[in-house]
């Protein structure tokens, strides 16, 4: 499509040029007889796009709205030559947060690809969650071997984002979640516990000042997220040794004040996660207990010069969000809301929970007058799920940001335009975990794909969990259904190839331990010999899975961090080889017993006791792979 643009084009042309390939348009510098003539109008009010024949108008209030409007104009032009669409922005700021601290650090090229997609969707904010994956001058061990961003990389990303109307806000930690940063000897005087900074020490605040300066200096934004969440062990390590028991609030209050002063002295407006203030007054240390009100005396002591970020990924009813938002408002301001695109609980996204909880949460935000929302895409336990697997969740956030009540059909249409992807294919990825025995939509976030992939073939800690279900047909069906998605989702061929290979692997692996134990109990050596041939095929499939996963990783992320997944795949492959040797040693009479197949299998019930609608879950590879010490 050829178009020429006139009107308020100053500052937009570089971004338009960057999006030409994404949108399939060619923007001409002047009038042309065979081009659409599109007039741009920057003004207050809603986003409006219209066309009548060869004439068009895009009316917008800010740069980010323009790029969404440009995308809408192209999308609707493909459907007809006459249209008018008006959208009333529901939020002032809609951002996405990508985890860059759980091994998967997006390289600059993939960040720019994401930024182009986000611009067409209509986002105007981005956070990169960096615990230690940014460069602090003269601190070589901070982020060492972790793929940390250089100042130049962050500055280049910020320049690119700004061109597209997107603000990059630094997102760091200044209290907890710093285990990777504090593991080195340089940090000996900074540690309270293995992952929490030692509050109350001047050395700590000099270090925090360096972190804040380093994280914010490459970026235009004068806002900064300083973390402060989930500091469960605050004051229980070296601080306890030096000061005795001090209530957490009495430690956190002066610590937060010091950090806020540091940020404000650098001209920054800080924000923090809000959970610790709710946990402090909760007898069970929970965030969402509606029976616990924060006393007025504590609220009076909470700082007023920070923005509170209410994060909640877990509820599917609007009223819970509304009530917790109302409680946040008691702090004296309207919070930012952070919800979740569920990329962290398994090796595949959970779109059942993502859609149910996002729809409820953002409806609550609209009703309570929240003006800023954030879609988080965490990568817990090694970023096994690609950041790009969460694109459909970002589209859902984007449509909620411009439509009062977006339908799934509209979300799918926009997704097809903005990404070239098929929404149903992305939703189908969630079915890899939604196996027989798991409730529709997987509301409890059972993650059999993860635990069946990584559990040991002879010491399967989850064998009991799946003993009463049949999953072979489930994975065989998905393997077949997902194969066409490889070619149907341009740019994400490697991702869908990975999931096809995953299904083919799980089809063989899920019940191997159960079969081996049964045949061993029966003394069926012929049957065990047959299982060794299954192991040969399984070895081949896991090898193929690792290869395609490697292609996917290196297309998007820096190399540091992949070694963890290499180690995990290597463990599975080596244990397959050992299992083959053990079975054949028994068959041939080299050993009289296989003790590992004699022990009774117990249900793995960590945090998920047996209940309807789940086969169990575990988010940690170490707990899945072995009951022994690593």
CA separation for the pair 68, 341 (Å, rounded)? 21
Q: Specify the pLDDT at position 613.
A: 81
Taking alpha carbons only, the member of 502, 474, 503, 497 closest to residue 485 is 497
Q: Specify the pLDDT at position 244.
A: 97
Q: Specify the pLDDT at position 281.
A: 85
HSE-CB at 155 with a 13 A cutoff on CA atoms is: 7
Tens-digit pLDDT profile for residues 127-167: 999 999 999 999 999 999 999 999 999 999 999 999 999 99
Question: In this structure, what token pair is assigned to residue 136?
Answer: 């602090």
Between 273 and 31, name the one with better pLDDT. 273
Q: Specify the pLDDT at position 30.
A: 73
CA separation for the pair 540, 78 (Å, rounded)? 45
Q: CA distances (Å), 297 to each of 77, 300, 309, 350, in order?
A: 58, 5, 21, 40
Mean pLDDT over 244-267 rounds to 96
Tens-digit pLDDT profile for residues 480-496: 999 999 999 999 999 99
Tokens 């985890």, located at residue: 99
Question: Lowest mean pLDDT: which of 279-283, 314-318, 348-352?
Answer: 279-283
Average of per-residue pLDDT values in the chain: 96
Q: Are strands 125-129 and 82-87 parallel, antiparallel or unpaired?
A: unpaired
Q: Is the pLDDT of residue 291 over 90?
A: no
CA separation for the pair 184, 223 (Å, rounded)? 29
Kindly calculate the radius of gyration of the chain based on its CA atoms and give it in whole angstroms. 26
Give the helix/strand (H/E) hosting 621: helix 621-625
CA separation for the pair 87, 401 (Å, rounded)? 9
CA separation for the pair 398, 95 (Å, rounded)? 9
CA separation for the pair 494, 110 (Å, rounded)? 14
Tens-digit pLDDT profile for residues 195-238: 999 999 999 999 999 999 999 999 999 999 999 999 999 999 99
Q: Specify the pLDDT at position 610.
A: 61
Contact 288/361 with Cβ under 8 angstroms? no
Q: Is the pLDDT of residue 607 over 90?
A: no
Please tell me whether residue 57 adopts helix, strand or coil conformation: strand
Q: Specify the pLDDT at position 53.
A: 95
Mean pLDDT over 412-439 rounds to 97
What DSSP letter does each residue of 75-129 carry, written as one string?
A: HHHTT-SEEEEEE--S-SEEEEEEE-SSS--B-HHHHHHHHHHHHHHT--EEEEE
CA separation for the pair 216, 226 (Å, rounded)? 11
Q: Is the pLDDT of residue 614 over 90?
A: no
Q: Specify the pLDDT at position 292.
A: 84
Contact 373/338 with Cβ under 8 angstroms? yes
Q: Specify the pLDDT at position 141.
A: 98
Contact 97/376 with Cβ under 8 angstroms? yes
Q: Specify the pLDDT at position 51.
A: 97
HSE-CB at 366 with a 13 A cutoff on CA atoms is: 18
Q: Is the pLDDT of residue 113 over 80?
A: yes
DSSP state of 294: P
Mean pLDDT over 283-305 rounds to 90
Mean pLDDT over 488-514 rounds to 98
Q: Specify the pLDDT at position 406.
A: 98
Q: Specify the pLDDT at position 606.
A: 65
Contact 562/554 with Cβ under 8 angstroms? yes
CA separation for the pair 107, 508 (Å, rounded)? 35
Q: Are strands 336-340 and 372-377 parallel, antiparallel or unpaired?
A: parallel
Q: Is the pLDDT of residue 94 over 90?
A: yes
Q: How confident is the model at residue 8 (pLDDT cuts 50, 70, 90)?
A: confident
Q: Specify the pLDDT at position 283.
A: 84
Mean pLDDT over 357-364 rounds to 98
Contact 337/325 with Cβ under 8 angstroms? yes
């Amino acid at each position: 499509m050829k178009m020429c643009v006139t009107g308020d084009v100053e500052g937009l042309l570089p971004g338009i040029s960057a999006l030409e390939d994404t949108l399939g348009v060619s923007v001409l510098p002047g009038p042309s007889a065979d081009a659409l003539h599109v007039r741009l109008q920057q003004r207050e009010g809603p986003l409006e796009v219209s066309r009548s024949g060869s004439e068009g108008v895009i009316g917008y209030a800010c740069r980010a709205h323009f790029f969404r409007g440009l995308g809408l104009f192209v999308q609707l032009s493909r459907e007809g030559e006459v249209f008018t669409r008006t959208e009333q922005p529901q939020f002032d700021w809609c951002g996405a947060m990508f985890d860059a601290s759980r091994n998967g650090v997006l390289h600059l090229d993939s960040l720019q690809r994401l930024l182009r997609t986000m611009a067409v969707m209509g986002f105007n904010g981005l956070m990169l969650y960096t615990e230690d994956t940014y460069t602090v001058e003269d601190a070589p061990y901070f982020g060492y071997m972790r793929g940390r961003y250089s100042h130049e990389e962050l500055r280049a990303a910020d320049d690119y984002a700004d061109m597209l109307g997107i603000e990059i806000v630094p997102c760091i930690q200044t209290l907890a979640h710093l285990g990777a940063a504090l593991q080195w000897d340089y940090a000996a005087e900074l540690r309270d516990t293995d992952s929490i900074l030692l509050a109350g020490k001047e050395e700590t605040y000099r270090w925090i000042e360096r972190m804040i300066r380093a994280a914010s200096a490459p970026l235009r934004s004068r806002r900064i997220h300083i973390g402060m969440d989930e500091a469960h062990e605050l004051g229980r390590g070296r601080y306890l040794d030096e000061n005795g028991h001090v209530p957490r609030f009495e430690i956190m209050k002066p610590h937060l004040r010091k950090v806020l002063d540091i940020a404000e002295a650098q001209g920054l407006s800080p924000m923090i996660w809000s959970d610790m203030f709710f946990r402090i007054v909760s007898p069970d240390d929970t965030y969402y207990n509606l029976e616990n009100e924060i006393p007025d005396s504590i609220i009076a002591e909470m700082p007023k010069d920070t923005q509170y970020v209410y994060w909640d990924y877990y509820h599917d009813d609007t009223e819970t969000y509304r009530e917790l938002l109302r409680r946040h408002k008691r702090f004296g301001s309207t919070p930012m809301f952070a919800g979740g695109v569920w990329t962290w609980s398994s090796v595949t996204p959970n779109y059942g929970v993502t859609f149910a909880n996002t729809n409820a949460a953002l409806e609550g935000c609209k009703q309570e007058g929240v003006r800023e929302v954030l879609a988080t895409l965490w990568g817990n336990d090694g970023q096994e799920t690609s950041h790009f697997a969460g694109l459909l969740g970002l589209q859902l956030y984007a449509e909620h940001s411009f439509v009062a009540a977006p339908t799934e059909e509209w979300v799918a249409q926009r997704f097809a335009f903005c990404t070239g992807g098929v929404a149903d294919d992305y939703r189908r990825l969630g079915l890899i975990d939604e196996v027989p025995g798991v409730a529709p939509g997987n509301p409890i976030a059972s993650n059999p794909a993860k635990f069946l992939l990584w559990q040991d073939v002879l010491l399967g800690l989850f064998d009991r969990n799946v003993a009463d279900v049949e999953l072979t047909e489930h994975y065989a069906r998905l393997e077949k259904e997902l194969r066409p998605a490889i070619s149907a989702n341009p740019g994400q061929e490697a991702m869908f190839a990975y999931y096809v290979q995953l299904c083919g692997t799980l089809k063989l692996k899920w019940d191997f331990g159960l079969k081996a134990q049964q045949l061993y109990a029966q003394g069926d050596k012929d049957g065990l010999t047959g299982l060794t041939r299954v192991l040969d095929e399984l070895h081949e499939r896991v090898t193929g899975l690792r290869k395609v996963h490697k292609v996917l990783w290196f297309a998007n992320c820096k190399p540091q961090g992949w070694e963890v997944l290499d180690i995990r795949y290597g463990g599975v492959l080596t244990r397959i080889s050992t299992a083959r040797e053990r079975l054949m040693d028994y068959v041939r009479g080299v050993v009289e017993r296989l003790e590992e197949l004699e022990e009774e299998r117990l249900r793995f019930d960590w945090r998920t006791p047996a209940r309807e609608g789940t086969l169990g879950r575990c988010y940690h590879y170490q707990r899945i792979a072995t009951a022994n010490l690593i």
